[in-house]
Structure 1
Amino acid sequence: MKLKTTLFLLFSILGFSQQNNPASTDSIKKTNIFKLGEVIVTNHQNQETTNRVTSKTMESQNKMEVSRALNLLPGINLTASGSRNESMVTIRGFDLRQVPVYMDGIPVYVPYDGYVDLARFTTFDLAAITVSKGFSSIIYGPNSLGGAINLVSRKPTKKFEFDGSLGLIDTDGQRSNLNIGTNLGKFYVQGGLSYLDRKYYQMSKDFVPMKNEDGKERDNLYRTDQKVSIKIGWTPNKNSEYALGYINQKGEKGNPVYAGSDTQNSLLARPRYWQWPNWDKESIYFISNTHLNDKNNFKTRLYYDKFKNLLISYDDANYTSITKPYAFQSFYDDYTYGANLEYESRFIPKNTLKFAVQFKEDVHRENNAGEPVRRFDDQTITIGLEDIYKVTAKFTVIPGVSYNSRENKQAQDYNSTTKAISDYPNAGKSEALNAQIGLFYQFTELQKLGASVSQKTRFATIKDRYSYRMGTAIPNPDLKPETALNYELNYNVQFFGKLNFQTAIFYSSLTNVILSISNVEPGKSQMQNFGEAEYKGIEAQLSYTPIQKLIITANYTYLERKNITNPAVHFTDVPNTKVIGTVEYAPLEALKLIANTEFNSSRYSTSYGISVPDYTLLNGFVSTKVLKYVSIDAGINNISDRNYSLVEGYPEEGRNFFVTVRFFNSN
């Protein structure tokens, strides 16, 4: 009944009469990016398709989660934390602790461990996702060791516009979303609603039943994600803009049990029966750009973010009782608030100077049921200077430097025997200096060359410093920042208006890498600044349009990661090679066909050498416009029903299909 009611209400909207002919969704998508939410070093960098995925691409290939949308780009690999049912990515080998995630330039990563489950972030209300690799603006602030990810929202361009969808995912899931916007010149409003629900997924028929999983339907893999967003903006003149945004997302999910055969994995004998009834985030933010005069601008980002999380560990696969020693209820109640103030000046000819000051306070509160709440409080400050120096019309130099400090204001320990809370010793202040320089030369409009060197740091998270990891680790409040020295050479060229080629060679040297050191005490590990490593590789993308109706794209990533400190300990979760190819053909104006293939080489799942094999996926999609305002998309993912995994013991979905009805308008 819920789906039928939603279908009736949304299609009723389509009955609104319009005076002008509607444009296609593609024409809307090209202009709906919320520019105030972007963080741009140079304009041409963010336009490169190796670093950006748009809503048009996300919709055409049915990428409903941010992680799977990002996986379309070279240099980025889809990863998973199987034991927590989290979807993540790495950028050139750096994980999400080292590549923070932002929404319109506002940090949205979880304060406790620096990660964020990207499966909880759907793409339905996004205009684009922009990625900075290695060389990223100092405006992002601290911890961008390997770059940054910015989710950019929409901004309406017409007096009244809407788009949305209703869809079925296999036989067990459904999705729906609606985006409505109005732009009245000096004022605009953008709102969004979305809902995504799945009960399970079908496993590949090639999956061999294991001790804790019989195949067919993957047990305890349900998910429900709902999101509401609204943004109100005021543009008093063409150079100034002010926007107030609010986002409320609520999620819940299960966690499938380990279904592998690694005898060294404790989850083989002692499975986790985990569920998250709550994974909720609420954010309010204000972004502004004030045009002081022809040569000076002042920008602000102010934000307050709340994160609530409930994890329940049950006795067994019935998911009803919590009586065993390993069963518990764990509560997180976190909040973050902060400000980013940026002054931009062009008073020196050929120079655009940016001076930024940031303040961020992260508060993490946790407890198990029946225990008192422990509180952790980190305060981070950043002061940065960046200059865009146009040496000539073709040559640009961009130096930048920033000072970062993180001070722990409070960290509480809990003794389960005495039931008492005490304070950890004061760890003092941790400081870091970042510096970078980028050189960009534009031979012609169609040929560009860039080179950059950047020294970046990452502060240890609250979890790195203070977690006992369920009794298996010793806290280390004195952890120092990790450091990476990143080098990159990139090239972009276009031939005959039909062929575009982009490539980058990169190398990163890491020092003070935070690693888990085993047996610091008998049977217990500790996080320490112990590691040195190097990452190096190449990425490339080719786009070819032989005829107007046909687009062929392919991208390639090769990455080597070397543990210099201890070569016997393997880096995990990232394949050496990833290749993606896509063919898009529109034989008719109202019909589009897309075929997509992806290859990933094998990857380690454990530091002691357990790996998952390589895999190749085939996907097919079709989109047809059936009415002036309506199109229907359908597709099949994993056509060959490949049994594959991103991490050992957690098989991915087998063959699956979707059908989506989309509706849109434009005045």
Structure 2
Amino acid sequence: MKAPSALAGLILVTVAVLGLAADAAAEPAVFEEEEVVVTAKSVKTPVPQTLGFTEIITQQDIQEAGATQDSLAGALAANGQPVDENGANGPAALQLDGAPAGQTQVMVNGVAAQGGFSGQADLSAFPAIGVERIEIAHGPLSAMNGANALGGVVNVVTDLTGATRNRVALTEGAFQTGRFNLAMTRDDWGIAAGVSHSDGDRSRSGATGRYLLGQYDFLQEDDQYLRLYLQAFNKTAEDPGPESAPKARAEQSDANYALQLNGKRPWAGGDWEYKLYSQRWETEYDDPDAFRHDRYHSTVFGADAAGGYAWGGHEVQSGVSLKRTLFDIANTVYDGERTQEDWALFAQDTYSLNDRLWLVGGLRQEWSSDFDSPLLPRLGLVQTVNPDLTVKYGYGKAFRAPAPRELYGEGSWAVGNPALRPEDGERFDLSAEYRQGGSEWQINLFRTRLKDGISWVPVNPADLSAGYTWRNFAKGRADGVTVGWKRTWRQWITGRVDYHWLDRQDQGTDGVYRSNNFFGRHQLVLDLTLSQPRYDYGFSWRFVADRTSDGVELPDYDLIDLNFRYRFNPRLTLGVGCTNLTDRRYAIQKDYPMPGRSIQVTMEYFF
């Protein structure tokens, strides 16, 4: 492991000294526990009773990180989450605990986000504006949430309603980056719209985007609600290709449209929540030099309902999920339409053995017209050792459904395989949460094992010109430890330290396991936030070491980000942010460098 930069080390020592001084002078603080977290189809569960390691990123956290006007990927990265990016303007995905992006399920208001042809939602296209909170539940959650949840589930909860006000925001920064956002908020409805543009830090790495969000609350009461959500955005980005083989004219455009109706009402002695939704994802990829012009459109119609009942120490959640997906595909070898139908039954029981011990058991069965799903169990034990300490033990199975590109292919060089089976994985967890005064400690130890992994192999090893395809043969394993500490002094200084150790290995075509830790075997994240009525100051330092990709070593790196927001009056706020302060040259994915130092200025005006 390489030593961190001298500047980063100096800042770390300075922050530690300030923290100790503040701690010595601080009055005893009372920790305010998060009340609920959505872990299963929007059925709310108290945090102490949730299995596994749970994180909640609030709207205030996003604001203090200076990411309110950024994308969802930017907001997650600014709060220390492992966002996988192919350069600044490329697609971005979240990878929890070493699980591939396809094994981390992203949901918006309790509905799985449409992943398009790749099966992965591009978080760089989702705006962070209107996000009320982001709930991150680590662990195997397919038993309640369906496919693609071995690493965990990220549920983005939005809310555009509230006190009557209007807001306009303008951001300008490095690489000719600009954003314009406009939002209107009322008691029962809200709307937000925006545009963005960047020339990118590399030749031919520019991107433009637009979005429109809407919400209307037909009904909002203590025990029932009915909400309509509208989402539309598009992104057009140049594809510069890898540094070693740049592309001259490649470009991709993506558009996503979603309409979602969420409701809740008491019925038959229980609380039921239901969702009706439609999503459409359109992708066009054009590379004239490679004679490629591909079109991938997919439309989803879905519905699910989940009910919660409580009796005799049992809290039972059960429901049904239905989905129909229409694919319209055109590439160099395939032109046609496909239909995929999926439906599932699921149930979970949280049984209170006594006032300090809960037993959690869940089961899910999915059926698909394109593949067979495994039976997905979940079992755990939650123990409140004392009012300050909670310990959790968990086991679960999860699966990743084959992505459309793996089933149907991307052309003569990437041949689809309709006989693919879902990837099948299991995970063991041991976690503990300790909270006292203004401090919070969390630790999570986990082990994941993956079989029937879908991997990229030659159609004919003796003739590579025949192209490549996907097959079920790979295996993967990951072991990890996460330790987190958070402390608040005098209700205005907050410090956070997170350490992650991860050992991820994937099996190659030769049967040999190779290290695949491009996020780093070691990660250290240090955040410090100072919040006053007139200003917010944020400092973040991340050190990533012992990196590998398919057994090949990658350079270590450390990053420092700063942001400052000043409120001149209730109407006008000015913010200045600097990412990659020390101008480090680094890449998350090999051959796709991330930007150097970037300074951005944001103005927000409320009227």
TM-score normalised by L of structure 1 = 0.79
CA distance in structure 1 between the aligned counterparts of 2:574 and 2:205, rounded to whole angstroms: 28
Corresponding residue number in structure 2 for 1:590? 534
Could you tell me whether the CA contact under 8 Å between 2:168 and 2:182 is conserved in 1? yes
Identify which of 116, 120, 123 aligns with 1:118.
Answer: 123
Matched, 1:301 2:275: yes
Corresponding residue number in structure 1 for 2:207? 223
Distance 1:485 1:68, change over 3 A: same
**Could you tell me how far 1:84 is from its partner in structure 2?**
9.3
- Secondary structure of the corresponding residue to residue 71 of structure 1: helix
CA distance in structure 2 between the aligned counterparts of 1:142 and 1:48, rounded to whole angstroms: 18
CA distance in structure 2 between the aligned counterparts of 1:79 and 1:302, rounded to whole angstroms: 31
Identify which of 366, 375, 393 aligns with 2:337.
Answer: 375
Corresponding residue number in structure 2 for 1:323? none
Identify which of 61, 64, 72 aligns with 1:66.
Answer: 72
- Secondary structure of the corresponding residue to residue 574 of structure 1: coil
- Secondary structure of the corresponding residue to residue 391 of structure 1: strand
Identity of paired residues, percent?
Answer: 16
> How do residues 159-178 of structure 1 correspond to structure 2 at under 5 angstroms?
160-170=164-174, 172-178=176-182
CA distance in structure 2 between the aligned counterparts of 1:570 and 1:274, rounded to whole angstroms: 32
**Could you tell me how far 1:637 is from its partner in structure 2?**
1.1
**Could you tell me how far 1:533 is from its partner in structure 2?**
2.2
Corresponding residue number in structure 1 for 2:25? none
> How do residues 86-125 of structure 1 correspond to structure 2 at under 5 angstroms?
86-125=91-130
CA distance in structure 1 between the aligned counterparts of 2:192 and 2:40, rounded to whole angstroms: 18
Could you list the runs of 5+ residues in structure 2 that have no partner in the other structure?
A: 1-33
**Could you tell me how far 1:535 is from its partner in structure 2?**
0.8
AA aligned to 1:355 is S
Corresponding residue number in structure 2 for 1:426? none
CA distance in structure 1 between the aligned counterparts of 2:190 and 2:36, rounded to whole angstroms: 10
Distance 1:83 1:633, change over 3 A: closer
Matched, 1:193 2:136: no
**Could you tell me how far 1:405 is from its partner in structure 2?**
1.5
Structure 1, residues 471-516: CA drift from partner, whole Å, max 9, x if none?
3344322222211111111111123x12211111111121211222
Matched, 1:242 2:217: no
Give the length in aligned residue pairs.
567
CA distance in structure 1 between the aligned counterparts of 2:277 and 2:63, rounded to whole angstroms: 29
Distance 1:473 1:253, change over 3 A: closer
Distance 1:71 1:120, change over 3 A: same
TM-score normalised by L of structure 2 = 0.86
Could you tell me whether the CA contact under 8 Å between 1:230 and 1:246 is conserved in 2? yes
Could you tell me whether the CA contact under 8 Å between 2:54 and 2:138 is conserved in 1? no
CA distance in structure 2 between the aligned counterparts of 1:150 and 1:508, rounded to whole angstroms: 22
CA distance in structure 1 between the aligned counterparts of 2:200 and 2:433, rounded to whole angstroms: 43
Corresponding residue number in structure 1 for 2:519? 574
Could you tell me whether the CA contact under 8 Å between 1:195 and 1:224 is conserved in 2? yes
CA distance in structure 2 between the aligned counterparts of 1:394 and 1:441, rounded to whole angstroms: 6
Could you tell me whether the CA contact under 8 Å between 1:32 and 1:157 is conserved in 2? no
Could you tell me whether the CA contact under 8 Å between 1:498 and 1:546 is conserved in 2? yes
Could you tell me whether the CA contact under 8 Å between 2:450 and 2:477 is conserved in 1? yes
AA aligned to 1:561 is R
**Could you tell me how far 1:37 is from its partner in structure 2?**
8.3
Corresponding residue number in structure 1 for 2:285? 311
CA distance in structure 2 between the aligned counterparts of 1:47 and 1:173, rounded to whole angstroms: 41
CA distance in structure 1 between the aligned counterparts of 2:57 and 2:216, rounded to whole angstroms: 25
Identify which of 565, 568, 575 aligns with 1:633.
Answer: 575
CA distance in structure 2 between the aligned counterparts of 1:71 and 1:139, rounded to whole angstroms: 26
Corresponding residue number in structure 2 for 1:357? 320
CA distance in structure 2 between the aligned counterparts of 1:178 and 1:47, rounded to whole angstroms: 39
> How do residues 36-51 of structure 1 correspond to structure 2 at under 5 angstroms?
38=42, 40-44=44-48, 51=55
Matched, 1:80 2:81: no
Could you tell me whether the CA contact under 8 Å between 1:36 and 1:288 is conserved in 2? no
Distance 1:533 1:633, change over 3 A: same
Q: CA RMSD in A?
A: 2.9
Distance 1:473 1:226, change over 3 A: closer
**Could you tell me how far 1:611 is from its partner in structure 2?**
4.1
CA distance in structure 1 between the aligned counterparts of 2:455 and 2:533, rounded to whole angstroms: 55
- Stretch moving more, 570-579 or 456-465: 570-579
Corresponding residue number in structure 2 for 1:52? 56
Distance 1:334 1:510, change over 3 A: same
CA distance in structure 1 between the aligned counterparts of 2:318 and 2:141, rounded to whole angstroms: 15
- Secondary structure of the corresponding residue to residue 92 of structure 2: strand
Could you list the runs of 5+ residues in structure 1 that have no partner in the other structure?
A: 1-29, 202-217, 261-266, 316-325, 409-428
CA distance in structure 1 between the aligned counterparts of 2:148 and 2:325, rounded to whole angstroms: 14
Corresponding residue number in structure 2 for 1:182? 186
Corresponding residue number in structure 1 for 2:488? 545
Distance 1:567 1:368, change over 3 A: closer
Could you tell me whether the CA contact under 8 Å between 1:242 and 1:289 is conserved in 2? yes
CA distance in structure 1 between the aligned counterparts of 2:373 and 2:365, rounded to whole angstroms: 8
Distance 1:163 1:37, change over 3 A: farther
State which structure, 1 or 2, has the greater radius of gyration over its C-alpha atoms: 1
Could you tell me whether the CA contact under 8 Å between 1:40 and 1:46 is conserved in 2? no
AA aligned to 2:273 is K
**Could you tell me how far 1:300 is from its partner in structure 2?**
0.9
Distance 1:231 1:629, change over 3 A: same
CA distance in structure 1 between the aligned counterparts of 2:135 and 2:403, rounded to whole angstroms: 24
CA distance in structure 2 between the aligned counterparts of 1:564 and 1:200, rounded to whole angstroms: 35
Identify which of 508, 527, 535 aligns with 2:448.
Answer: 508
